Copies of this chain bind each other. A is one copy, B any other.
Amino acid sequence: MKTQYDSRPIGIFDSGVGGLTVLKELLAAFPNENFIYLGDTARVPYGAKSTRTIERYTIQVADFLIRRNVKGLVAACNTASALGLGALRAHCDTPVLGVIQPGCQQAMEHIKDKNSHIGIIGTRSTIASGAYPNTLALFEPQLKVSSLACPLFVPLVEEGWLEHTATRIIVEENLAPFIKNPVDILILGCTHYPVLKPVIAQILGKKTILIDSAEAVSESLGKLFKKVILPTQNNNTQMVEFYVTDVADRFQEVAGRFLDSLNVASVEMVDL
């Protein structure tokens, strides 16, 4: 008889702290599963880097988690998901889940008709990759999809300028094309952006539905559990290990902006 359970942890990675928004959703959705989080804080941000570099970094980060015996990998970073997953899937047998497909799926659930206009915002590299429009086209080829790179949003969030006048001006100017040609749905294609949801919602108005792919990932992981990853039988307290590639101080400080309740108690630094 085949084994029905797998007590190994799930590996989840990001270029830095943004992926904690995804981790938070997964911890709540899978309270018996253990997780290992790796933030590549020495090489953060990924958002303006090339496909070649992101592929290399994604594989190095995943290899660390695979060596720690994870049963599945979650790329909780839009840029790594958009540019690195093809190479990663070719490189390893461990099941890999990115954030692009779940985000697109969730957007599709809110679509009223084929004439809906979907907006996507993300880092320079995510937008240049075309990963979101290409994935949306698999669901519905005739959708109107518009993409915008918003490279200043990440530093603003990292520095905690969340509801500042300057932030409002920058967000407004970046989203100007979506004020001129309103979108029905806006995919927040970077794990940092949900922190700016209040400002974005205020600027685009109530008619635009904001999609936060972090929320969608746990649903997709649930599907993976039915297909390729076995759940744990663990009834003990949920365990999370944190690793970073640069010293942990600032990770712990910035992590607070992403997680209200989750206590990032102990973080270990590793060289990749």
Q: Which residues of A contact B (CB under 8 A)?
A: 42-43, 48-50, 52-53, 151-152, 154-156, 158-159, 161, 164-166, 169-170, 173, 245-247, 249-250
B42 touching A49, Cβ below 8 Å:
yes
Chain B residues with Cβ below 8 Å from A158 are 48, 151
Closest B residue to A172 by CB, please name it. Answer: B166
Q: Are B247 and A52 in contact (CB under 8 A)?
A: yes
Assembly CA distance A42 to B155 (angstroms): 17
Question: In the complex the two chains form, is A247's CB within 8 Å of B53's CB?
Answer: yes
Assess the A250–B42 pair: CB atoms within 8 A. Answer: no
Taking CB atoms, residues of chain B closer than 8 Å to A42 are: 43, 49, 53
Pick the contact of A151: B152, B155, B245 (CB < 8 A). Answer: B155
Minimum CB–CB distance for A272 against chain B, Å: 11
What are 16 A-B pairs with beta-carbon distances under 8 A? A42-B43, A42-B53, A43-B43, A49-B246, A50-B247, A53-B245, A53-B247, A151-B158, A152-B155, A152-B156, A152-B159, A161-B170, A165-B169, A166-B166, A166-B169, A166-B170
How distant is A61 from chain B, measured CB to nearest CB, in Å? 14
Most-contacted residue by chain B among A42, A161, A247, A249 (CB, 10 A): A42
Residues of chain B with a CB closer than 8 A to A245's CB: 53
Which residues of B are found within 8 Å of A52, using beta-carbon distances? 246-247
Shortest Cβ gap from A80 to chain B (Å)? 14
Q: Which residues of B contact A152 (CB under 8 A)?
A: 155-156, 159, 161
20 further interface pairs, Cβ-Cβ under 8 Å (given A152-B161, A154-B155): A42-B43, A42-B49, A43-B43, A48-B158, A48-B250, A50-B246, A50-B249, A52-B246, A53-B245, A151-B155, A151-B158, A151-B159, A152-B159, A161-B170, A165-B169, A166-B166, A166-B169, A166-B170, A166-B173, A169-B169
Contact yes or no, B53 A246, CB < 8 A: yes
- Chain B nearest CB from A44 CB (Å) reads 8
